């Protein structure tokens, strides 16, 4: 279940042009952040505080965006002779502001004020962050609010689809701001010193490890700044690999530029381990359920720490793979890619040899079982929309976003639509057409493994008229409930004509243990409405949204984030990880797909 950062990855690819890169060369998007670069290979000794003294060496490198043709010169710094890459905080903040402006958040701004060893960052909506370069701490009054996408967004926003046109008119999904329920979380202090991560002040310049900035400030954006030893890259697996796990043009450059290494330096090895522990301690959302006190303790007890600190890149990458597939082993979490030191194919070979973990491998077998039975009834493939007598079936196996360049306000979807919004919109209009024979509607999510949260919200609104979705952050303790409605006939009016609710229809959702992530979210929310009956067996769970975490050596894993999708009942929040129980149980797989018999059975219940 992607977060808004995934939408940003796509927008970055199509929006960053040579003209924008030229604008980027103006250094930053905020007037207060003017980047002053050191000369290449300049070594300076300075005292940042009474207890810290550094020798800093800098070099200019290319910073790549979206594809190899889009780059900008930037400065990377190395402290006390190590190869741990740092950048100036103000330059990184400038790039972050630039990304937000690409996303359309023209009001996004970070004000930077310096007082000795302390730097205070303040967002445009006045939420601050204080970075102490003497104590190696980063303090947020409200971590969720500081990472908020814009003043018109909630502190935890589920959707990332563009909801207004060029004139500001609502499109596709509308969030009802007057219905928001926000409960802010506790203040947060990242104690970097406890992880042996050093912030560096060099005179009036403030340096932060690139990976630390990514893990704390870019995490909400869904991107990282990655350094392969030669150049900088914005990205993670979504920019280095395509949806079929094939390497992209940017990925080829990322892995080609840095030849394989037999040994990683001791300093970078230790930093890589400490930073990964910080990132996972902060951002892995299932620590409590997995009985993980800290990732250092987990990796120590499992023997992975010695592999991570071996300086052997193959052992280090294998340790990350083992951590994800053997000791976390939740379906949302997966190994993404190996580091440039081992090469792109090393990670693929690990997966091909040993799989993606017991849970993910078992889930794949389970899904194939349902699809095999379905193929007996639909050897040529199941249609997205089908009418069987007086019953309409809507079927899709993933929540797929609208393709790039498609605008349903200019051309309405047809029966050939492959994306979820197109399928839902077409189906709603068919069901509600004049003299329609439809009395029952079955949303078939029995083989649905999840996908785009935007389209899940759209689906729920189409069935319910209005849907309330709650998110709780297990890291900060924040809670949010957002209400959404959808425009399914694309007249821009968001009214009763856009929904199946209140039309006298018998609404059902077909679910199975394969129904996971967004495929679990939708039946879980329908269950709470009492307006839709669930058929089948308990859905497969998966309550956390997902996010990418990168390593300092350049690998990547996808994890279950702290943002748990939930429902609110009697003022309390309950996550949906255990799945939604059906109202009507089906005990045989044939019963899911023999639709004539299923229709006959449903009509017998009325």
Q: What is the pLDDT of residue 545?
A: 87
Q: Residue 441 falls within a domain, yes or no? A: yes
Question: What are the φ and ψ backbone dihedral angles of 202, each rounded to 5 degrees?
Answer: -120, 90
Task: Clarify whether residues 253 and 387 are in a common domain.
Answer: no
Average pLDDT over residues 85-113: 87
Rounded distance, CA 352 to CA 272, Å? 25
Quick one: average pLDDT of 548-560?
95
pLDDT in tens, 48-76: 444 678 999 999 999 998 789 888 999 99
Strand 572-575 and strand 556-569: pairing?
antiparallel
Predicted confidence at residue 181, as pLDDT, reads 74
Distance CA 254, CA 226 (A): 9
Q: Which residue has the higher pLDDT, 389 or 482?
A: 389
Return d(Cα 49, Cα 123) in angstroms, integer: 27
Residue 291 within a domain: no
Q: What count of residues does the chain have?
A: 606
Residue ending a domain, choose from 259, 283, 312: 259
Q: Count of CB atoms within 10 A of residue 67's CB? A: 14
Query: What are 319-336's pLDDT values in tens digits?
Result: 999 999 999 999 999 999
Is the distance from CB of 165 to CB of 409 less than 8 angstroms?
A: yes
Angle (nearest 5°) at CA 480 between 479 and 481: 135
76-80, 527-531, 596-600: lowest mean pLDDT where? 527-531
Q: Taking Cα atoms as reference points, which of 267, 243, 241 lies closest to residue 255? A: 241
Domain with 402, as residue range(s), is 382-542+576-605
Weakest-pLDDT range from 43-47, 412-416, 465-469: 43-47
Residue 592 covered by a domain: yes
- Considering 224, 259, 294, which residue would you say is the last residue of a domain? 259
pLDDT at 158 over 50: yes
Q: Does one domain contain both 390 and 254?
A: no
Question: Rounded mean pLDDT of 277-296?
Answer: 95
DSSP-derived secondary structure for 438-476: --EEEEE-TT---B-HHHHHHHHHHHHSSEEEEEEETTT
pLDDT tens profile 486-522: 999 999 999 999 999 999 999 999 999 999 999 999 9
pLDDT at 47 over 80: no
Q: Which of 259, 283, 318 is the endpoint of a domain?
A: 259
- Residues 581 and 441 grouped into a single domain: yes
Domain of 532, CATH number, reads 3.90.226.10
Could you tell me if 245 and 168 are in contact, meaning their C-beta atoms sit under 8 angstroms apart? no
CA Rg, the chain, in Å? 25
Contacts of 235 (CB under 8 A, 6+ apart): 9, 223, 224, 226, 250, 254
For residue 500, being part of any structural domain is answered with yes
> Quick check: is 250 in a domain?
yes
Residue 18 near residue 70 (C-beta atoms within 8 A): yes
Q: Above 80 in pLDDT, residue 597?
A: yes
Please tell me the predicted confidence (pLDDT) of residue 561.
92
Quote the pLDDT of residue 216: 96
Which is more confidently placed, 9 or 482?
482
Least Cα distance to 577 among 357, 380, 330, 207 occurs for: 330
Written as one string, the DSSP assignment of 116-169 is TTEEEEEETT--EEEEETTTTEEEES-HHHHT-S-TTS-SS----S--B-TTS-
Residue 27 is predicted with a pLDDT of 33
Q: Tell me the C-alpha distance between 370 and 382, whole Å.
A: 13
**268, part of any domain:** no
Exposed/middle/buried for 442, CB within 10 Å: 0-12, 13-18, 19+? buried
Residue 316 is assigned to a structural domain of this protein? no
Q: Which residues pair with 511 in a beta bridge?
A: 536
State pLDDT tens for residues 460-485.
Answer: 999 999 998 888 898 998 988 888 99
Please report whether residue 313 resides in a domain: no
**What is the pLDDT of the chain when averaged over all its residues?**
87
Above 90 in pLDDT, residue 368?
yes
Reply yes or no on whether the pLDDT at 7 is more than 60.
Answer: no
- Whole-number pLDDT of residue 28: 33
Grade residue 163 by pLDDT with cuts at 50, 70 and 90: low
Domain count, the chain: 2
Specify the range with the lowest mean pLDDT, choosing from 98-107, 137-146, 513-522.
Answer: 98-107
What pTM was estimated for this model as a whole? 0.88
């Amino acid at each position: 279940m992607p977060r808004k950062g995934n939408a940003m990855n796509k927008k970055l690819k199509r929006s960053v042009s040579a003209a924008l890169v030229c604008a980027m060369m103006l250094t930053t998007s905020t007037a207060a952040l003017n980047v002053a670069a050191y000369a290449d290979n300049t070594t300076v000794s300075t005292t940042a505080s009474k207890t810290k003294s550094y020798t800093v060496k800098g070099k200019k490198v290319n910073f790549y965006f979206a594809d190899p043709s889009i780059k900008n010169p930037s400065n990377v710094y190395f402290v006390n002779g190590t190869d741990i890459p740092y950048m100036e905080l103000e330059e990184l903040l400038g790039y972050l502001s630039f990304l937000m402006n690409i996303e359309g958040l023209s009001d996004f701004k970070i004000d930077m004020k310096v007082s000795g060893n302390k730097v205070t960052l303040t967002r445009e909506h006045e939420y601050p962050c204080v970075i102490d370069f003497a104590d190696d701490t980063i303090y947020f009054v409200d971590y969720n609010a500081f990472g908020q996408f814009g003043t018109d967004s909630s502190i935890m926003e589920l959707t990332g689809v563009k909801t207004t046109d060029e004139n500001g008119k609502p499109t596709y999904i509308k969030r009802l701001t007057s219905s928001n329920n926000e409960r802010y979380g506790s203040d947060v202090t990242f104690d970097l010193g406890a992880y042996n991560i050093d912030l560096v002040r060099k005179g009036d310049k403030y340096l932060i490890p690139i990976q630390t900035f990514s893990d704390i400030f870019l995490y909400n954006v869904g991107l990282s700044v990655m350094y392969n030893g030669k150049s900088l890259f914005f990205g993670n697996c979504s920019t280095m690999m395509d949806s079929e796990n094939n390497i992209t043009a940017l990925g080829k450059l990322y892995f080609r530029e840095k030849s394989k290494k037999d040994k990683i330096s001791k300093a970078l090895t230790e930093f890589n381990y400490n930073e990964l522990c910080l990132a996972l301690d902060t951002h892995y959302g299932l620590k409590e359920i997995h009985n993980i006190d800290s990732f250092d303790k987990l990796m120590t007890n499992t023997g992975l720490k010695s592999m991570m600190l071996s300086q052997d890149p193959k052992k280090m990458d294998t340790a990350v793979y083992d951590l994800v597939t053997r000791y976390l082993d939740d379906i949302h979490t997966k190994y993404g890619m190996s580091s440039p030191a081992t090469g792109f194919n090393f990670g693929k070979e690990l997966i091909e040899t040993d799989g993606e973990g017991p849970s993910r491998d078992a889930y794949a077998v389970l899904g194939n079982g349902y699809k095999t039975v379905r193929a007996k009834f639909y050897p040529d493939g199941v249609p997205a929309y089908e009418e069987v007598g007086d019953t309409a079936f809507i079927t899709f196996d993933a929540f797929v976003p609208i393709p790039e360049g498609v605008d349903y306000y200019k051309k309405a979807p047809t029966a050939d639509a492959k994306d979820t919004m197109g399928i839902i919109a077409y189906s709603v209009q068919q069901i509600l057409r004049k003299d329609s024979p439809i009395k029952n509607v079955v949303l078939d999510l029995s083989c649905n493994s999840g996908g785009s949260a935007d389209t899940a919200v759209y689906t729920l609104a189409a069935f319910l008229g209005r849907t309330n979705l709650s998110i709780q952050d297990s890291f900060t303790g924040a809670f949010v409930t957002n209400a959404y409605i959808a425009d399914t006939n694309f007249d821009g009016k968001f009214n009763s004509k856009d929904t199946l609710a209140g039309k006298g229809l018998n609404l059902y959702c077909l679910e199975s243990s394969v129904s996971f992530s967004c495929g679990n979210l939708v039946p879980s929310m329908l269950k709470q409405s009492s307006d839709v009956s669930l058929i089948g067996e308990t859905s497969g769970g998966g309550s956390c949204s997902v996010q990418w975490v990168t390593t300092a050596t350049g690998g990547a894993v996808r994890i279950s984030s702290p943002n748990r999708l939930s429902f609110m009942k009697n003022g309390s929040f309950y996550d949906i990880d255990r799945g939604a129980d059906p109202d009507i149980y089906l005990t045989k797989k044939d019963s899911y797909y023999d639709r004539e018999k299923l229709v006959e059975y449903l009509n017998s219940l009325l």
